Amino acid sequence: MTDINVQELFNEIHKQDISEKDTNLVDDGLIDSIDIMNLVELIERKYNITIDAKFLDRYSFKNFESIENIIRQSM
């Protein structure tokens, strides 16, 4: 099983202030659509996967657990 470090992903897109304690990243205004696209590009490159369009919504990027879930489902 591949180790997924969501905090590292946020650090790489210069969002070090986001942590696992944040429960609703989009609704709380911590990330926006540009951040989501940056995460998608980084995730696809880092894990050599393609994220299906069905995951490109605000709910898939709600928190660390949901982001980890889309990565695992895309592997």
* Mean pLDDT in order along the chain per 10 residues (75 residues): 89 96 96 96 96 93 96 95
Whole-angstrom distance, CA of residue 1 vs CA of residue 21: 24
Residue 58: its pLDDT value, please? 86
pTM beyond 0.95, yes or no: no
Residue 61: its pLDDT value, please? 96
Torsion of CA 34, 17, 19, 69, to 10 degrees: 20
Whole-angstrom distance, CA of residue 37 vs CA of residue 32: 9
Residue 20: its pLDDT value, please? 95
Residue 2: its pLDDT value, please? 73
Q: How far is CA 16 from CA 10, 13, 51, in A?
A: 6, 8, 23
Residue 1: its pLDDT value, please? 59
Q: Which domains does the chain have, with CATH numbers?
A: 6-74 (1.10.1200.10)
